[in-house]
């Protein structure tokens, strides 16, 4: 993992963005698009937002030679919270990114209870917290405020639906515009919702 953006180099990955606007899916994932967007925000001094490193305890490393260390065994130290955090216009930003191939809904199984508790704390303390949800089949990416997620999550815990319908995300969320440099321009949505 290359800190601070958390982007892992992958063989055979094209540098072209995955989009719904004529660029076509060329192997990019939502995480790749967000990392590229965050780098653009950083390069243009618009915001400072990074992927959080996953806390890992390395247990066993093989050193065949100094320049070629191989981690043989490692464990997660603790459950991670959300994927990204940082600052934008003096506001704390914290969000989780999820991609689904489901056509009709976003499964709440994609979110964990400790993540929801973390998001609730962020909102309670005045931060801007949200999900970025990509419906791969529809080639659409949405900004979904954490405050809108909470009722669906708590309903699920009471035995309700185990997903949020695609139509609900479409109606209650905000479609994120695709751009060449800011591939997932979520700051444009924050400007509309929080200015």
pLDDT digits (tens, 9 = 90+) for 83-115: 899 999 999 999 999 999 999 999 999 999 999
Domain assignment present for 180 = yes
Domain assignment present for 92 = yes
According to DSSP, the β-strands at 91-100 and 128-135 are parallel
Domain assignment present for 93 = yes
For residue range 2-55, list pLDDT tens digits in order. 444 444 444 443 333 333 333 344 346 999 999 999 999 999 999 999 998 666
In the prediction, which pLDDT does 129 show?
97
Q: Which residue has the higher pLDDT, 45 or 75?
A: 45
Domain assignment present for 24 = no
Question: Domain of 64?
Answer: 30-194
Domain assignment present for 164 = yes
Domain assignment present for 51 = yes
* pTM to 2 decimal places: 0.76
Contact 128, 94 (CB under 8 A): yes
CATH number at residue 184: 3.40.1350.10
What is the C-alpha separation between 16 and 33, in angstroms, rounded? Answer: 10
In the prediction, which pLDDT does 2 show?
40
Tokens of 24: 């076509």
Domain assignment present for 187 = yes
Number of structural domains (the chain) is 1
């Amino acid at each position: 993992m290359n800190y601070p953006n958390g982007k892992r180099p992958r063989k055979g990955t094209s540098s072209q963005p995955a989009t719904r606007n004529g660029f076509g899916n060329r192997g990019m994932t939502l995480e790749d698009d967000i990392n590229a967007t965050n780098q653009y925000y950083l390069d243009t001094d618009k915001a400072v937002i990074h992927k959080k490193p996953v806390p890992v305890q390395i247990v066993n490393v093989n050193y065949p030679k100094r320049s070629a260390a191989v981690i043989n065994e490692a464990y997660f130290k603790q459950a991670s919270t959300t994927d990204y955090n940082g600052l934008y216009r003096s506001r704390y930003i914290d969000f989780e990114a999820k991609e689904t191939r489901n056509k009709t809904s976003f499964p709440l199984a994609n979110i964990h209870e400790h993540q929801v508790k973390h998001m609730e704390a962020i909102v309670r303390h005045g931060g801007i917290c949200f999900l970025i949800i990509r419906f791969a089949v529809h080639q659409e990416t949405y900004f979904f405020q954490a405050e809108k997620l909470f009722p669906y999550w708590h309903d699920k815990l009471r035995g309700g639906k185990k997903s949020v319908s695609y139509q609900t995300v479409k109606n209650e969320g905000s479609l994120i515009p695709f751009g060449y440099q800011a591939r997932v321009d979520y700051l444009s949505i924050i400007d509309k919702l929080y200015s």
